[in-house]
Amino acid sequence: MFADGAWSYQISEPGRCPDGRPTVVHDRAEFALPVPASDPIEKLTGKRQLTTDAPCAGTTDGTVLVERIGD
């Protein structure tokens, strides 16, 4: 989705804890529109957060680079 100058996504899906027990994984990311924006946009840098529910609750934050490699 594009809103307020950024693309974002949020998905939740079933996952597994390291010991095999079921959990839910929530994946969220946001990519700000570069300034100035090229046409086409060659690279986007964003922030990503992965969160897992109990029984192995935790959060991991990171940076994501999306790079255009061709048409």
**What total of structural domains would you count in the chain?**
1
38-62 pLDDT per residue, tens: 889 889 999 999 999 999 999 999 9
| Lowest mean per-residue pLDDT among 5-9, 22-26, 56-60, 67-71 | 67-71
Residues 6+ apart with CB under 8 A from 17: 23, 52, 55, 56
Angular region, 2: left φ>0, alpha ψ -120 to 50, beta rest: beta
Q: What is the pLDDT of residue 21?
A: 98
Q: In the predicted model, is pLDDT for residue 71 greater than 80?
A: no
pTM exceeding the 0.85 threshold for the entire prediction:
no
Which structural domain range is residue 41 located in?
A: 2-67
> Do residues 17 and 11 lie in contact, with contact meaning Cβ atoms separated by under 8 Å?
no
